[in-house]
Structure 1
Amino acid sequence: MMLDAVRHVVDNGVKWVNLPCDFPPYRRVHAFARRRQVTGLLDGLHDRLRDKVRQKEGRGVDPTAAIVDSQSVRAAANIARFTSGWDGGKRVGGRKRHLVADCLGLVLAVAVTAANVQDRDAAVPLPERLRRLYFSVRLVRADGGYAGRPVGWASGRLRTSTSRSRSSNARTAPRGSWCCRAGG
């Protein structure tokens, strides 16, 4: 019942306070979810599910290639102003998710920032986190927004091959710009 309540909040984007009366009291459900998050249970569950999907797709458990990109999302009116910003390139006010995914699109690492933070600045912790969790990654692809410091730093320090696409628009990206080597 508690997991169903947590799933309801996540799937529907409702506030904890607005849980339907069919579920336990929202404070108990929130405490239940928070305990699982703090103990790392949710991260472990995510990792195990990702490994199973990779195996089912005929891939090794450890990825050898990754893709880095960001997505700006609108912030709700009740989000604190200092945690959100304006992304002028995408014309969105809110937050930005910086994702590292494997070739199947499964999430390897995430960083969330205000939307006004440049991709190249926000991505600095991602390669280190990626290297700590997945030492097998040898190829990282990124779009032009990640030019400069993170690309050079990742290549040199982490001994990974990095490459950038000239366009961040998926429809106009050069052919093969998001393809990864076989075995990734």
Structure 2
Amino acid sequence: MVTAAYVGDRTAGQLLLAQVADEHHRLALVWADGGYTGSLIEHCLAVLALVLAIVKRSDDMRGFIVLPKRWIVERFFAHLMRSRRLVRDFERSTSSAEAMVYWSVTMLMTRRLSRPRPSRA
């Protein structure tokens, strides 16, 4: 979900999680980073019946350490940035920017699907 810059993470998260919960009824657990703390956790549990687990670093960690669940997201962002169109914000509308994300993910998936698989001997 691509939103305008003035829309906060918690507001966008509330809208996105409502859409996801409507489409995927078996979804029970969602991982999020520290930007989604606060009332969103209670909203997810009370309204959407979702457990929102916040993945954050402990205070005693030093240096650049990526948490295991966060690494999944960081790897996905790295794949998206391989598309030149997504490296800079060239789009004028959020729907156009979202379409470019879908296009980039489709390219990634088709490359993976077209790769020859190693034969099992």
TM-score, normalisation: structure 2? 0.45
The structure with higher relative contact order (CA 8 Å, sep 6+) is 2
Give the structure with the larger helix fraction.
2
TM-score, normalisation: structure 1? 0.31
Larger radius of gyration: 1
Give the structure with the larger strand fraction.
1
